[in-house]
Chains A and B, each alone.
Chain A
């Protein structure tokens, strides 16, 4: 009875992946279900010659390397603050998590409304402060669209970091700080020599999990801009999804998905080699 449970889990989770890999080696377009020709690596070669593939790849890199560090820094600051003592700490800890619990569709639409070029509160706010002279269509112009979505995702994800880091902070014994204070260590040195090593394990894990999630998250982009204007907010997983959903080209879509996954695994391996080692030593 128990080994079936493991088998079911493995089947549910791994079979679809194997099937995708298999599909990526075939010509498979959904409205022509009869033709399922084996084409070797044709789609992969095609991807390398596909301009949109390279655009999406560049956006994916910007997407990951801007979003994850911003989430982490904001999360770290939040965690350090929430670890201080103040009367309404419990309430603040509970409230800060709210963005993370909201459905991504709600988040996306909420921010579309905030960014709205005619009635959006962001433009209104910036106009009143005198920072801009006329309304900016944040999501409708290619130069700002990607960054506007990155801000949204930072907002969504920083509580996760805050909570993970806070748990790490609480595991550092108070006596360390007391000893350091007696020895005359400054706040900064205490942070550098006690706090940072104390939370490094949690930090490494959180960055890893978050990188994977951020890289894969396409629902926010899909709802906010659908990849547009033009290709301005295409990331690789989104491109794969649109290829399959709109063009029904499952062969090419799968190939893009597989290609992206391989690259992500590469990134994770490099990360673990470098950072994992640095932390252990």
Chain B
């Protein structure tokens, strides 16, 4: 054992240093963005971003003059709405996929993975026409429906892998005791896969919070989520980098925090789906 234990110096050189290098690559751009966001506009082009004389000026301007607050609210409404719609559909659909046998089940389930293969353009165009006919362009509902179309396939895939882990005999026992199918789902299966549901919900929240192309195409005037709002900060003649990076930091915050909370579960869901599939 003693022979195989590496010395501290060697570990520092072969493990810690490379990890630090990779982390610098991974986090460097983010840190740079943060530095830029706390640098005063007048100093940015003369001395460059720095922590010395850090200021919250850009953040204050972002909320006072640009009206970033309403963009955050828009993003929040859309993302939460998508979580509700997406979870309702994918939990019930996943239950059906997990518990019942019906023709073409395996094929359909595979399609949910394959659907990721289709360019988002393929979905945007018909959705745009559909929403226009209904007069729903530039509304929260339009974006919630649109985001659901991206989120649902993968959520179903994830939820099926969680539900397959819960023995069928539990459903049967519940139904013998007088529960209906729905009752069995509601009272037995759902509580048991609550961690999976939470992870899936957060996954949906993150994807719709970060979504950009739908928001650009189907929203824009009345409804302007942060992703679109940040991009419109690019002026015609000059780019307000301080403002832009401040927007980026705030816009990235919710998804990043949620992600750090849920990452273990999310990843095991991803890999389980992949291994079992």
Contacts and interface: CB of A to CB of B under 8 A. Distances in A.
Tell me if chain B binds chain A: yes
Interface of A: 1-3, 5-6, 8-10, 12-17, 19-20, 23, 74, 77-78, 81-82, 84, 86, 92, 94-106, 109-111, 113-114, 119, 121, 124, 155, 158-159, 163-164, 167-168, 181, 201-202, 205-206, 209, 212-213, 215-216, 218-219, 222-223, 236-237, 240-241, 244-245, 250, 253-254, 257-258, 260-261, 264-265, 268
A17 B100 contact: no
Interface stretch (B54-62, B64-72, B168-176, B210-218): B210-218
Given A5-B93, A254-B122, A103 B251 contact: yes
A164 B270 contact: yes
Q: Give the size range of B's interface with the partner.
A: 35 or more
B194 interface: no
Interface of B: 4, 11, 15-16, 18-19, 22-23, 25-27, 29-30, 32-33, 36, 44-45, 48, 89-90, 92-93, 95-97, 100, 102, 108, 111-112, 115-127, 129-130, 145, 148-149, 152-153, 156, 181-182, 206, 209-210, 212-213, 217, 226-228, 230-231, 234, 241, 244-245, 248, 251-252, 255-256, 259-260, 263, 267-268, 270-271, 274-275, 277
14 contacts: A2-B93, A12-B152, A16-B149, A77-B22, A97-B260, A104-B210, A109-B231, A167-B267, A202-B275, A206-B274, A209-B116, A237-B120, A244-B121, A261-B119
Contact of B123 (A16, A23, A74, A99): A16
Binding site secondary structure of chain A: helix
Given A9-B93, A96-B23, 20 more contacts: A1-B181, A9-B152, A12-B89, A17-B115, A19-B126, A98-B27, A103-B227, A105-B227, A110-B248, A155-B26, A163-B263, A167-B271, A202-B271, A218-B121, A218-B213, A223-B212, A237-B120, A253-B125, A257-B121, A268-B117
A268 B113 CA distance: 12
B143 to A, nearest CB: 14
Contacts of A119: 44-45, 48, 241
Contacts, number: 239
Nearest to A168: B271
Nearest to B22: A78
A164 B231 CA distance: 31
A213 B90 CA distance: 21
A105 to B, nearest CB: 4
Contacts of B226: 103
